[in-house]
Amino acid sequence: MQRSFIGVLVSSLAVIAALGGLSFISAAPSSHKAPPPPPEGDWRILDPVTYENISLFPVVGGSQDTSSFLTLEEGLASGEVLVTERGAERLIRDRGQVRPAPQYNTGASVNQLVLINRSKRPLLLLAGELVSGGKQDRIIGKDRIVPVGAEPLPLDVFCVEHGRWTGSSSQFIASKTIVHPSVREQAAVERKQTEVWAAVAEGSTARVSAAPVAAPPRLSSSALADAISSEAPTQSYAKIYESRRVGVSVDTFAEEVQRRFARATSGLKGERVVGVIVAYGGEVAWSDIFASGELFHQYWSKLLRSYAVEALARPTLRETASLDAAREFLRRPNGREIQETEAGVYRWREITEGHLALIELDALQPKTMTLHRLLLHRTS
């Protein structure tokens, strides 16, 4: 009897998965195999670009065709993508037709917005991208792809503006910002709203290293508190980190790193920069790698500024990371894996091993490719 019941249960689940077409999460590896990681040699890691306490290792390699994908910044700027508060009462013009916006029983929600992709291209979303407006500024909670013609999507987000819940418009605009790694980690990996707020207000969540310190952080918790009290009373991420008290130093820091990075990568022949590995002092802490040089370029200025914010929120250490350490960091973790799949659209996976967390987003159309690979050394 028990064996018969299990057989019926397995068969029923298989039918539901085949017919539902919805996302699912599994604690075990899926039968759909992930694209194999590029063998060593397909990615080449260049010597680090170092400035003060940050080292950026350019990752170069072959570049796939990602022109069929739309970024959130592009979509919001063109009006092809709409992001609104949940339950907003308005009409949305979609492909020449007017239709009611989706209605919900509970109204606006801190951790959920509504997104509509009206473009003719699938939309790529990255965890940590910031949208401004509505009742509070929010960041995207998870990498994913929104297909062409999709129904209005309930979008999981995290608030990065703790003290506001009002707004003259329910619609959001692109902020041209990706939050810095400490905040992005809390959203993408820890998935806790209270920890996101804490990381916004405190700067870096990294533990203080025992290594010799050359200089304390420029963006100390007291400096951030001063910026909040004087220029960002609602604790808006953008206003805090672009305020007069901290914005100039971030911009100056990022500009110098970009000048050095451009010089270090200017002589490439037949290769494209597709990502970076980031180290703070002697600790290799983060990497963002994309399927193409074009896609990397679209996100690069926002990513660079986010890395600069993190660098300024950490102390300057006398140690520097080695090229061997950067190569070792790209090793694929071998640990607990969870997956989420939308049939024919995307596959998202997370692998955790100790303090390492790897998040990969695979596009399943027009061909299977890993659009974005995030690897980080967790600070919490």
Kindly report, residue by residue over 233-292, the tens digit of the pLDDT.
Answer: 999 999 999 888 788 899 999 999 999 999 999 988 888 999 999 999 999 999 999 999
Question: From CA 58, how far away is CA 46, in angstroms rounded?
Answer: 5
Question: Residue 223 in contact with residue 232, Cβ under 8 Å?
Answer: no
> What is the average pLDDT score of the chain?
85
The encoded tokens of residue 347 equal 């596959």
**Residue 15: its pLDDT value, please?**
35
Question: From CA 216, how far away is CA 198, in angstroms rounded?
Answer: 20
The encoded tokens of residue 36 equal 């194999």
Hey, how many other C-beta atoms are within 10 angstroms of the C-beta on 166? 8
Question: From CA 38, how far away is CA 141, in angstroms rounded?
Answer: 27
Question: Residue 52 in contact with residue 320, Cβ under 8 Å?
Answer: no
**Residue 380's closest CA among 289, 285, 287?**
285
Does pLDDT of 96 surpass 50?
no
Task: Specify whether the backbone of 96 is left (phi greater than 0), alpha (psi in -120 to 50) or beta.
Answer: left
pTM of the predicted model, to two decimals? Answer: 0.85
Question: Residue 122 in contact with residue 102, Cβ under 8 Å?
Answer: no
Question: Residue 161 in contact with residue 201, Cβ under 8 Å?
Answer: no
**Residue 285: its pLDDT value, please?**
96
Burial classification of residue 79, based on how many CB atoms lie within 10 Å of its CB (0-12 exposed, 13-18 middle, 19 or more buried)? exposed
Question: Residue 157 in contact with residue 179, Cβ under 8 Å?
Answer: no
CA distances from 156 to 85, 108, 203 (A): 11, 12, 23
Out of 84-88, 164-168, 331-335, the most confident range is 331-335
The encoded tokens of residue 291 equal 């399927």
Chain position carrying tokens 């305020």: 243
**Residue 107: its pLDDT value, please?**
65
The encoded tokens of residue 224 equal 């951030």
Question: Residue 54 in contact with residue 45, Cβ under 8 Å?
Answer: no
Hey, how many other C-beta atoms are within 10 angstroms of the C-beta on 246? 23
